[in-house]
Amino acid sequence: QVQLVESGGGVVQPGRSLRLSCAASGFSFSTFGMHWVRQAPGKGLEWVAVISFDGNNMYYADSVRGRFTISRDNSRNTLFLQMISLRADDTAVYYCAKLGERDTLDMWGQGTMVTVSS
C-alpha cells in the first residue's frame, strides 16, 4: 500500500524542540525528493522545506530557515523534520509530501499536529 504516515506531533512550549517523522511505504522512497508543508489552523498551505532523493540538497522557507532541518534515512524509508526554537506561529498541521514527476506533490500524508503553547 502506497502511503505516507507522519508522527511526532504534540504540544510543546515555546523555545523547545520537536522532531517529526514521515514513514513511507509502497514505493521506492530513496528515488524521490520529499517535502514538508504545513497548515496553521484555519489558514492556507505553507511550503516548509524540500530534500533531494539522496539527501544532499535541502531548501527552506524563509520563515523556518536556521530553525528547522529536513533530513532523511533511506535505509529506513523515513523523512524527518527537526524543529528547534519553536514559536507560537509554528503551530500547524505538518504534512509530508512526495515529490513526483514534473515537480508535482503527488502523494500526501494525513498530517501531524504541532501546537506550540505555554
Q: What is the contact surface with other proteins in residues (CB under 8 A)?
A: 35, 37, 44-47, 50, 59-62, 95, 102-106, 108-111
CB of 118 to other proteins, least distance (A): 28
Could you tell me if 37 and 110 are in contact, meaning their C-beta atoms sit under 8 angstroms apart?
Answer: no
Tell how strand 10-12 and strand 112-116 pair up.
Answer: parallel
CB of 76 to other proteins, least distance (A): 23
CB of 7 to other proteins, least distance (A): 15
- Which CB sits closer to other proteins, 45 or 84? 45
Cell (9 digits) for 50: 524540500
Could you tell me if 80 and 22 are in contact, meaning their C-beta atoms sit under 8 angstroms apart?
Answer: yes
Q: Which residues share a beta bridge with 3?
A: 25
